[in-house]
Structure 1
């Protein structure tokens, strides 16, 4: 990791995978900004950057197992990336977690050990 650069984690403290990922970051003595995304939801632009850094379709950011997702009755296959991002902005509980961003790279911490790839 570059000096002076701080990675960010979109974190839910109630999620065991998110807590485990944050613990791995702390054990590696990496500087990290913790963003509790349910309290401070990411913006459209932040999520657009995350999608780019992950190199995935925006639908990969959606927790389809959430009750809110089922209640909305959305078919992700019919939505553009921008529409999916707007869905997450409006319903931050749908954001996959944890997501760790380091400059232009990112990972989803499932499993938590995925975070190790950011600095190996």
Structure 2
């Protein structure tokens, strides 16, 4: 299927892997950007965060990052200061961000990506790495 999708992906992250496989399960070959080695520009990061309906603070990953060491929990830090840290240390960018013509989402959990993909592209079941079923035999979302 021709439907432009870009995923800012970390192959070491299970949620990111599940999201990528779910997109591919729909027959879409997305543009995959491994953001740890190819981080977005400041402008792109700001746009993705805003388009996803998040604050800069909501887009920061704490677990497994230098978040605490950098003192990023300090509520007096501005969005610009937080963005500076995210761009200096891309591991601080929460993942995966997915951009499609239907919107932008930080796909945590991975099934959030279904909100910005066409409903009719899925055929057959899909199960996440942890065994959780997301799509039934007809490719319909399991709620």
- The answer to whether the superposition gives a TM-score over 0.5 is yes
Match for residue 98 of structure 1?
A: 96
- The list of structure 1 runs, each at least 4 consecutive aligned residues, that deviate by more than 4 angstroms after superposition, is none
Match for residue 20 of structure 2?
A: 22
Query: Residue 30 of structure 1: CA displacement?
Result: 2.2
Identify unmatched segments of 5+ residues in structure 2. 120-143
Query: Residue 106 of structure 1: CA displacement?
Result: 1.0
Query: Residue 77 of structure 1: CA displacement?
Result: 2.5
Identify unmatched segments of 5+ residues in structure 1. none
Q: Which has the higher contact order (CA 8 A, sep 6+)?
A: 1
RMSD: 1.9
Q: In proportion to residue count, which structure has more helix?
A: 1
Match for residue 6 of structure 1?
A: 4
Indicate whether 1:89 and 2:87 are aligned.
yes
Match for residue 37 of structure 1?
A: 35
Output the TM-score relative to the length of structure 2.
Answer: 0.75
In structure 2, distance between residues paired with 1:23 and 1:106: 17
In structure 1, distance between residues paired with 2:56 and 2:102: 16
1:71 to 47, 69, 72: 69
CA shift in 2, pair 1:74/1:20, >3 Å: same
Output the TM-score relative to the length of structure 1.
Answer: 0.88
- Per mean C-alpha deviation after superposition, the further-off stretch among 44-53 and 60-69 is 60-69
Please say if residues 76 and 84 of structure 1, whose CA atoms lie closer than 8 Å, have aligned partners that are also in contact: no
CA shift in 2, pair 1:44/1:76, >3 Å: farther
